[in-house]
Amino acid sequence: MKMMAMNGSPRKKGWNTVSMLESMLEGARSAGAETELVQLYDLTFSGCISCFSCKRLERKQDGVCAIQDDLTPVLAAIRESCDALVVGTPVYYGCETAGTRAFLERLCFPNGKYDLQRSSLFPRRINTALIYTMNVSEARIAEMGYATGFERTRSMLDRHLGPCELLLATDTLQYADYTCYESEIFDEAAKRRRHEEVFPQDLRKAFELGVRLVA
Ligand SMILES: Cc1cc2nc3c(=O)[nH]c(=O)nc-3n(C[C@H](O)[C@H](O)[C@H](O)COP(=O)(O)O)c2cc1C
């Protein structure tokens, strides 16, 4: 059982999204999975370029993106040997980061068949999940209209790859030291308190997610 995780945050160590992914992978390993963490921001790649090679009737392969860049071997590994996939991303302007978005376009579009059943060309169904981390509180998610976007992406992975769970870590810590940055809108003490008291619970939920996806 191979579990792959994509970190869609440009912050690669010690921050919110990657910590959630690392905890999730720890859970997956504890349940016997082999794991791999891919740092999307270490790779040079683009989103879909609308070449429609993946939709040509005389294409050589199904479900394969024609672009050759750093994402090519990652997409091949997902297609060939991944049994569970988790995508983690910070919320940027209400949705996934640009890198995560580009990755999801390249992963999903070649697998989406334009037939009436909207079937998938991915060779099997695998367990998937999306982890979002964000500044806003849980209460503000509905107010800000984020839930619709999260659900849209969740159902995209669900349709193309397999059943997809959502896990949210809200009201996250953004800076190591709030006194060094513009932060009038933030209450540093409250942020820090939440990071100490609630974020460990989020990490625990990520661990349990890893266990569940492998099971
Ligand atoms: C460019 C940018 C845009 C952001 N936009 C939002 C936003 O729209 N809503 C939100 O709740 N947080 C927003 N944030 C905050 C991040 O989502 C939050 O700090 C997240 O937990 C960072 O994840 P990381 O620590 O893994 O990098 C934004 C941060 C950046 C850098």
Task: Note the pLDDT of residue 211.
Answer: 98
Which protein residue's CA is at the shortest distance from atom 19 of ligand 1? 174
Domains of the chain: 2-214 (3.40.50.360)
Which protein residue's CA is at the shortest distance from atom 18 of ligand 1? 134
Task: Note the pLDDT of residue 173.
Answer: 97
The structure tokens 């460990």 sit at 200
Task: Note the pLDDT of residue 88.
Answer: 99
Rounded to whole angstroms, how far apart are CA atoms 170 and 189? 16
Helix, strand, coil content of the chain in percent (nearest 5): 45, 15, 40
> Which tokens go with 190?
């409250």
CB-ligand 1 contact for 136 (6 Å cutoff)? yes
Rounded to whole angstroms, how far apart are CA atoms 169 and 130? 11
Rounded to whole angstroms, how far apart are CA atoms 210 and 215? 9
SS3 178: helix
Residues in the chain: 215
> Which tokens go with 94?
């209400």
Rounded to whole angstroms, how far apart are CA atoms 43 and 59? 27
CB-ligand 1 contact for 19 (6 Å cutoff)? no
Rounded to whole angstroms, how far apart are CA atoms 139 and 126? 32
Q: How far is the CA of 90 from the centre of ligand 1 (A)?
A: 5
Which protein residue's CA is at the shortest distance from atom 28 of ligand 1? 92
Cα 17 to its chain centre, rounded Å, is 9
Q: What is the mean pLDDT of each run of 10 residues along the chain (215 residues)?
A: 98 98 98 98 98 96 97 98 98 98 98 95 98 96 95 98 98 95 94 97 98 96
CB-ligand 1 contact for 41 (6 Å cutoff)? no
Atom of ligand 1 nearest to the CA of 93: 8
Which protein residue's CA is at the shortest distance from atom 24 of ligand 1? 16
SS3 169: strand
CB-ligand 1 contact for 92 (6 Å cutoff)? yes
